[in-house]
């Protein structure tokens, strides 16, 4: 991804080959298999242990989206990005984006002495958007140009890393308080190796903390053991994605034949709520309340009268396969996550936490914010410990 220019595109191609839906968040069009850029770059780290990046909390008054800072170019130009485990590349706005990126900072190549244009353009269509709004067709789309320059994130310095400049984007991105997206898929292994760091990172979010710097944290090259008390429980990942295997879903300690089965679920730090295939979503909602109904104004979403929310128990527990010596374990989403807030056009109706997807199962911040998570690339596993802070 960011480790060498040739590998940057190769990683995206490989991820998409194994994840044809939104596990990789988007589909890259006509990526060349042998890009011209063949330079090998070395990332250096100014610290021997994990590198911490402070995160900010955002999404319309909730705590379902988090972002932090990185820098590009010489001299450095600063940007904020969502650190997204469901994406495979880095995208930030460029000055060519103009009015379409008016609310975001835009990278100016003419002001960087180390900038290199790699003369490759593509378009990406995202499988999930920012916040809890559903994806409809190509309403979350970017036009991109592949380039290279210095990148600094935490204490890691990449002298020449490949990334994409956003040259145009749909209006759905305009309200975002952050500038771009940095992918943290399992394809990041070479990035950590070149930096001399273990290929693992940790994520910590603090529910209901407000827009405070340091209310969340990304640790590159390790985990921050001060942020959790109970030992991490690990589950193997499959399909070259952050996909541990679910062994069953329970709602208020009940399950059904639809839910009590084995299937992989993608964990995505760039997604706010939860997306399941329709059969799974309906089975969960049927165990919570028959009054949760689809909202035809926003296909794929569901809701219930806002005054019903406090009366509904909606504890969702998902059992995951464990590593040898640990066995399976449950991750729980509490009732407090049932509502994502009122629909804009129907304020009496509150959106519930699960949207229907087109063929994939994905968990975002509705669960992740309740656990410290370790994302172990070389170990092909994810670790979880309850967030007690």
So which residues are the catalytic ones? 84, 268
Query: Rounded to whole angstroms, how far apart are CA atoms 176 and 191?
Result: 27
Distance, first Cα to last Cα, the chain = 33
The closest of 169, 167, 361 to 258, measured between CA atoms, is 361
Three-class HEC string of 32-95: CCCCCCCCECCCEECCCCCEEEEEEECCCCCCCCEEEEEEECCCCEEEEEEEECCCCCEEEEEH
Query: Rounded to whole angstroms, how far apart are CA atoms 130 and 66?
Result: 10
The closest of 291, 293, 288 to 312, measured between CA atoms, is 288
Sheet containing 266-267: give its strands across. Answer: 266-267, 362-363, 274-276, 354-356
Contact indicator for 273, 357 with CB cutoff of 8 Å? no
Sheet containing 263-264: give its strands across. Answer: 263-264, 245-251, 316-320, 329-333
Helix (H) or strand (E) holding 192: helix 189-194
Contact indicator for 11, 1 with CB cutoff of 8 Å? yes
Query: Rounded to whole angstroms, how far apart are CA atoms 346 and 355?
Result: 17
Q: How far is CA 52 from CA 11, 105, 154, 220, 360, in A?
A: 25, 23, 6, 6, 32
Phi, psi of 205, deg, nearest 5? -125, 150
């Amino acid at each position: 991804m960011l480790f060498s220019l040739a590998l940057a595109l190769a990683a995206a191609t490989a991820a998409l080959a194994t994840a044809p839906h939104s596990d990789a968040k988007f589909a890259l069009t006509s990526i060349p298999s042998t890009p011209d850029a063949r330079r090998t770059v070395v990332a250096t780290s100014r610290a021997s242990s994990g590198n911490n990046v402070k995160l900010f909390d955002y999404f319309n008054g909730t705590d379902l989206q988090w972002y932090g800072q990185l820098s590009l170019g010489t001299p450095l130009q600063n940007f904020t990005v969502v650190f997204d485990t469901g994406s495979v590349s880095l995208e930030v706005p460029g000055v060519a984006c103009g009015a379409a990126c008016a609310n975001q900072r835009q990278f100016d190549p003419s002001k960087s002495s180390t900038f290199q244009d790699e003369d490759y353009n593509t378009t990406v269509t995202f499988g999930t958007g920012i916040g809890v709004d559903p994806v409809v067709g190509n309403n979350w789309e970017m036009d991109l140009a592949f380039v290279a320059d210095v990148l600094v994130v935490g204490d890691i310095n990449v002298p020449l890393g490949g990334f994409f400049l956003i040259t145009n984007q749909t209006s759905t991105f305009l309200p975002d308080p952050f500038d771009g997206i940095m992918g943290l898929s399992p394809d990041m292994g070479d990035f950590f190796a070149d930096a001399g760091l273990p290929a693992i990172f940790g994520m910590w979010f603090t529910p209901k903390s407000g827009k405070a710097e340091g209310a969340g944290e990304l640790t590159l090259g390790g985990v921050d053991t001060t942020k959790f008390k109970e030992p991490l429980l690990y589950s193997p990942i499959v399909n070259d994605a952050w996909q541990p295997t679910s062994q069953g879903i329970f709602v208020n300690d009940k399950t059904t034949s639809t839910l009590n089965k084995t299937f992989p679920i993608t964990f995505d730090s760039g997604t706010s709520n939860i997306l399941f295939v329709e059969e799974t979503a309906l089975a969960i909602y049927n165990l919570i309340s028959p009054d949760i109904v689809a909202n035809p104004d926003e296909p794929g979403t569901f809701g219930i009268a806002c005054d019903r929310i406090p009366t509904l128990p909606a504890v969702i527990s998902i059992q995951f396969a464990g590593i040898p010596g640990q066995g399976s374990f449950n991750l729980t989403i509490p009732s407090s996550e049932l509502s994502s807030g009122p629909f804009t056009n129907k304020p009496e109706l509150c959106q519930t936490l699960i949207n229907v997807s087109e063929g994939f199962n994905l968990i975002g911040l509705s669960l992740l914010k309740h656990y410290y998570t370790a994302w172990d690339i070389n170990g092909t596993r994810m670790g979880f410990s309850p967030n007690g802070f």
